[in-house]
Amino acid sequence: MSENIVKPQPRLKERLENLCMEMIDKGILFSEAMQQFERCFITEVMRRNKGNLLRTAASLRIHRNTLSKKVNHHKTRKRQ
């Protein structure tokens, strides 16, 4: 008899803890981890808002100018 056992996905907290442990094991610095998280988070919210900076800033609850600076910062860091 073949049973289809569906393993539940780990909760967000568990996934985040596992990711943190993996990053620490690989020697990733806190500052690098924070920059990568911020870049990923902003990119996803911008994608969901179809690239609209004003709506993205409102979704993130930050000022549009702050978002613009962060986007430009991550663009220049990515090129280096």
Instruction: Please report, in tens digits, the pLDDT of each residue of the chain (80 residues total).
Output: 556 787 777 799 999 999 999 999 999 999 999 999 999 999 999 999 999 999 999 999 999 999 999 999 988 877 76
Tokens 């900076």 correspond to: 53
Query: Which two structure tokens, joined as six digits, stand for 23?
Result: 């990053």
Per-residue pLDDT, 33: 96
* pTM for this model (two decimals): 0.77
CB 29 within 8 A of CB 40: no
Taking residue 46's Cβ as centre, other Cβ atoms within 10 Å add up to 19
Per-residue pLDDT, 12: 92
Query: Which two structure tokens, joined as six digits, stand for 19?
Result: 């990711």
Classify 51 in phi/psi space as left (phi over 0), alpha (psi -120 to 50) or beta. left
Per-residue pLDDT, 4: 75
Per-residue pLDDT, 75: 86
